[in-house]
Amino acid sequence: MASDALAMLVFAPLIAALAVILAPTRATLPLAAVGIALPLPALWLATVAVLRGETIVVALAGFAPPLGIAWRADGFALTLAWLTFVVVAFISWHARSSFAVETDVGRRFWPLWLVLVASLYALFLSADLFNLYVTLELVTLAGVAMIAIGGKPAAMRAAMRYLLLGLMASLFYLLATALLYGQAGTLDLYQVGERMGDGALTVTALALMVTGLLVKSAIVPLHVWLPAAHGKAPGPVSAVLSALVVKVALYILIRLWFWVAAPLDVAAAALALGVLGAAAIVYGSIAAIAQTRLKMLVAYSTVAQLGYVMLLFPLASSAAFRAVTFHMLAHGVAKAAMFLAAANLLAALGSDRLQRLVGADQRFPVNVLAFALAGVSIMGLPPSGGFVAKWMLLEAAWQAEGWGWVAIVSLGSLLAAVYVFRVVALAYAQPRPAVSVRRPGTSPRGRFHATSLAALGLAVLAILLGIASAPVLTLIDLGLPPALVQP
């Protein structure tokens, strides 16, 4: 039952994507709605099974690995699948208006969107190294296509840069997969570790894989492609890229590190990853503070927030795993809200230059509120999801007596406060009479337009995540890597 449900998770959006291409335009939205909604009961069934203590394993079409494709759902995979569902649902609601099906761009958008959703679910469920490669490639290609979809030169340049680096990173990963298969004789994510040994080829392979994944997850200094790609993409696309697409590479990296590489002594490399994470937090935040455009500011904030995930590697404890997974959720929801709000402001103001935001709270109160609420979570103020994540991370660093990490996490929140407040202060500033051209309510889209409500819904969720964190943490605890559970 639960294993059939998993198939629904991937095949519902995938079949919907194909159907949208073939069916007439008026069927697009109903089909897309089905493809996006059907994973909900599937996720529910799978979660109930996992909460009962099961780990769901599926061999697709009855073909066992190594030639067949295996899926495996544990707490970690399901946590991120839930994040995908929630974020995708809200962004789809936004895209209903921002990528209306009657337009050319809208017709191209929906099939890509559904393929991306299917690939994301498939990636989280994949139980072998090669499937992870295939799904990672699918996610990247769908993402790149959606960045370029508007046809603006800046967006297309960003898309091409992202594509070239993304393909290079995938090939690093693929070469490593070949080497690991040669050493271990299996591709199974949960068996490679014990069989691969610790020879020079194994270590090379792991180093290649980590490098490729660091490029894909835009960790400083390999982040160069991210700000333009996320900043220049259309709003809903920016939101999904920052909330989900960069996280998938980190998901694979965590799987690789704590499941595959668990038998190896990786302390030195873990420290190096932690230092990169710290650099990402500091550099990304300072770069965000220096930006003059709203969407670029939000994109650099993603560079910074991804750094927190890297602190998991040196801390390497179940407390840190819990904190970082929760951070991935909290950041996903809050950043999607932020990008949607930023995109709405950009659409309404015609520019996302920060100076243009003066007085925006009078004209676009819902969007400014959504941005501010999401900002609360990004800064890590109570009672938001970001607060819970950062608090747990501080606690984990404290327990491990990693005072440097404690300092970095605190500094990161402080810097985040600077860039968030910069935007919020401008938006709530009193406009000089000359600046205020339009009156409240005269914006092209009404105050409570669906696009604004989608942003606000996600932002409220980012706060609620902090208040109702217990059930989420229960699910995360069921996904703890075995290597971290043993004392």
Residues that bind another protein (CB under 8 A): 66-67, 130, 134, 137, 141, 144-145, 148, 151-154, 156-161, 163-164, 167-168, 171, 174-175, 177-179, 181-182, 187, 201, 228, 232, 351-352
CB nearer to another protein: give 5 or 174.
Answer: 174
And the tokens for 88? 């995708």
**Helices 246-255/200-216 angle, 10° precision:** 160
Fill in the amino acid letter for 32: A
Closest CB 228 distance from another protein, rounded Å? 5
CB nearer to another protein: give 24 or 153.
Answer: 153
Closest CB 174 distance from another protein, rounded Å? 5
CB nearer to another protein: give 211 or 318.
Answer: 211
In angstroms, the first-to-last Cα distance of the chain is 35
CB nearer to another protein: give 171 or 286.
Answer: 171
Report the candidate in 389, 139, 112 with the shortest Cα–Cα distance to residue 252. Answer: 139
Buried b (16+ CB within 10 A) or exposed e, 120-132: bbbbbbbbbbbbb
Cα 338 vs. chain centroid, distance in angstroms? 13
CB nearer to another protein: give 134 or 264.
Answer: 134
CB nearer to another protein: give 231 or 466.
Answer: 231
Closest CB 207 distance from another protein, rounded Å? 13
* DSSP letter assigned to residue 25: G
What DSSP string describes 466-477? HHT-HHHHHHHH
Closest CB 153 distance from another protein, rounded Å? 5
Closest CB 164 distance from another protein, rounded Å? 5
CB nearer to another protein: give 66 or 431.
Answer: 66
Closest CB 178 distance from another protein, rounded Å? 4
Indicate the burial class of 64 (C-beta count within 10 angstroms; 0-12, 13-18, 19 or more): exposed
What DSSP string describes 340-363? HHHHHHHHHHS--BGGGGTTHHHH
Closest CB 349 distance from another protein, rounded Å? 11
